[in-house]
Structure 1
Amino acid sequence: MVCFEKAPAKINLSLDVLDKRPDGYHNVEMVMTTIDLADRIELYALEEDQIKVSLWSRYVPNDERNLAYKAADALKKAYRITKGVHIRIEKSIPVSAGLGGGSTDAAAVLRGLNRMWSLEIPEDELASLGATIGSDIPFCIYGKTAMVTGRGERIEPLPTPPPCWVVLAKPNIGVSSRTIFQQLELDQLTHPNTARLMESLHAHDFTKLCQSIGNVLEHVTLALHPEVGRIKDKMRDAGANGVLMSGSGPTIYGLVEHESKAQRIYNGMRGFCHEVYAVRILG
């Protein structure tokens, strides 16, 4: 038996950090949405009770350190499954980019194995299981657009953003979320206006959306990696309507209403940056 799953990337329209929890994590308030840049997950049933991971990326491990492996292992243990699976991952989402690549792969594995093994586990149970592996996995289980709170486990669906294009530019560096959060000074944050952002989604107002996006981690990453700031300036200069870093970076994205303009910005950024993509918002 074979099962296929699409694993779309996410971007943060808003990322706010509220406080630090006793368990060492941070309480966050984020608005996230999915975009049409995706990995492809193939699941092959194995007779042996084992998990195998195959992928072609020198930056991603193919053993028990991989989030997709951890997801399959957690599902097997939680529901006492003695079947095996070979997970093949075709990567399109950049690695360590702030786009949730590992988390969305893990979520796709949970969804796919739920179908392949006919487990009929409700989405909220899959999301709870995913939360034990990674903070972004619960959102990736549901996808679309949502307010994400707690340390990532509480999901509140939101309206889809207005139709638009997303131009992404990632420099040739990786950023550790742990490092960025460790550098964060909670008493010096300028918090994004999340309420206004949510109003823009309910009103389907593209201009207001672009004026309301924000990310408290951005200034930390830009201080450590000045090239990320230069990419943001270049994206703005090229004419993107709303420009922001996704997650802990280093990817900068620009929201653009029309395809022709998105293509011009894409072409301009390609001469300036290592990896550039122009995709539709899914949300």
Structure 2
Amino acid sequence: MESIHLKARAKINLALDILNRRPDGYHEVRMIMQTINLFDRLYLKKINKPEIIIKTNLPFIPTDNNNLVYKAADLIRKEFDISQGLYIQLHKVIPVAAGLAGGSSDAAAVLTGLNTLYNLNLSNKDLMALGVTIGADVPYCIMRGTALAEGIGEKLTPLDPMPNCYILIVKPNINVSTAYVYSKVNINEFETRPNIDKMIEAIKSSDLNKISSCMGNVLETVTIKEYPVIDKLKRLMLEKGAIGSMMSGSGPTVFGIFDDKIKARKALYDFKIDSSSVKQAFLTTIFNRKG
């Protein structure tokens, strides 16, 4: 095989809790992660030149080792002493710096794709062990589906699949630094925390309304304070028929869970014409490992 086409799917957090701050500066977290059918496309091709060449549809995306795609390709080449070069075409659709793990998912796709392209015969567990050296979300993006994430996000437990529904993704006209948000987190200021054990039970019983009622993200205590538009978008989601709405990751993306396709499509239209608050809006569905 000389080339391969791949999809790198985004994720949302159905729940995000922070337990403590570790001595190394990382935070111990407990999260429920869910893959969605919003994806970037990657094309990987072997080349004779001993280099990694990345082309992308967005001019502001780095094409050197500041890109996780480059880091993933470089890691595999060094780990397995591969002298052959690689051409990577990356078509971005997932909003950038949005709390949707777009970069991590792209890196995960490269690791998975090169495993196939070079017949490395690595298991998912092997790939996940390599992926965590690139970023904490990369192992999850290799596994995908519905999962409990603990530690710094790398300790993963597969859960029962989330029931089918519609997910409306809205990114406001702002960018948020993940490092900044985590640096401002004060665990003692959390008035409420998501009930993750109750959410796991709700997922097991395929109860979409209970899942929505259990959602929570403690990082909203930082991000909404800095950017009130996030709270505005959450409220609008609910007004437009979402049964639950939350910020994903460190933000600024807000998502809504809909059980009615017509309401979801109407809400998508409304958000797309709101250019003052909204930069990007997408309607998608969930992705499960068996789906």
Same fold, TM-score > 0.5, yes or no: yes
What is the letter of the counterpart of residue 85 of structure 1?
L
Are 1:222 and 2:201 counterparts? no
Question: Counterpart in 1 of 2:258?
Answer: 256
Are 1:160 and 2:161 counterparts? yes
Question: Counterpart in 2 of 1:73?
Answer: 74
C-alpha distance in 1, partners of 2:226/2:81? 45
C-alpha distance in 2, partners of 1:36/1:19? 32
Indicate if the aligned counterparts of 1:161 and 1:204 stay in contact, CA closer than 8 A: yes
Q: CA-to-partner distance for each residue in 1:218-274, whole Å, 9 max, x for gaps? A: 121111111112111211211210100000000100000121111111112222222
Question: Counterpart in 2 of 1:101?
Answer: 102
Gaps of 5+ in 2: none
Number of aligned residues: 283
Are 1:269 and 2:237 counterparts? no
What is the letter of the counterpart of residue 91 of structure 1?
K
Q: CA-to-partner distance for each residue in 1:69-116, whole Å, 9 max, x for gaps? A: 001111122222222111110111010111111000000000000000
Indicate if the aligned counterparts of 1:131 and 1:152 stay in contact, CA closer than 8 A: no
Structure 1 residue 61: Cα displacement: 0.7
Are 1:180 and 2:162 counterparts? no
C-alpha distance in 2, partners of 1:147/1:168? 21
TM-score of the pair, normalised by structure 1: 0.98
**3-state DSSP of counterpart to 1:61:** coil
What is the letter of the counterpart of residue 140 of structure 1?
C
What is the letter of the counterpart of residue 277 of structure 1?
F
C-alpha distance in 2, partners of 1:203/1:47? 52
Indicate if the aligned counterparts of 2:148 and 2:157 stay in contact, CA closer than 8 A: yes
Mapping of residues 119-198 of structure 1, within 5 Å: 119-189=120-190, 190-198=192-200
C-alpha distance in 2, partners of 1:259/1:10? 20
Indicate if the aligned counterparts of 1:146 and 1:158 stay in contact, CA closer than 8 A: yes
Indicate if the aligned counterparts of 1:59 and 1:95 stay in contact, CA closer than 8 A: no
**3-state DSSP of counterpart to 2:249:** coil
What is the letter of the counterpart of residue 13 of structure 1?
L
Question: Counterpart in 1 of 2:65?
Answer: 64
Structure 1 residue 155: Cα displacement: 1.0
Indicate if the aligned counterparts of 2:240 and 2:263 stay in contact, CA closer than 8 A: no
Indicate if the aligned counterparts of 1:50 and 1:85 stay in contact, CA closer than 8 A: yes
Are 1:282 and 2:281 counterparts? no
C-alpha distance in 1, partners of 2:124/2:84? 21
Structure 1 residue 178: Cα displacement: 0.2
Indicate if the aligned counterparts of 1:234 and 1:269 stay in contact, CA closer than 8 A: no
Are 1:33 and 2:34 counterparts? yes
What is the letter of the counterpart of residue 90 of structure 1?
H
Gaps of 5+ in 1: none
- Greater shift, 228-237 or 210-219, is seen at 228-237
C-alpha distance in 1, partners of 2:115/2:51? 17
Question: Counterpart in 2 of 1:10?
Answer: 11
Indicate if the aligned counterparts of 2:241 and 2:264 stay in contact, CA closer than 8 A: no
- RMSD across aligned positions (CA): 1.0
What is the letter of the counterpart of residue 214 of structure 2?
S
What is the letter of the counterpart of residue 226 of structure 2?
L
Question: Counterpart in 2 of 1:112?
Answer: 113
TM-score of the pair, normalised by structure 2: 0.95
Indicate if the aligned counterparts of 1:210 and 1:241 stay in contact, CA closer than 8 A: yes
Structure 1 residue 58: Cα displacement: 3.0
Q: CA-to-partner distance for each residue in 1:152-173, whole Å, 9 max, x for gaps? A: 2111101111110001110121
What is the letter of the counterpart of residue 212 of structure 2?
C
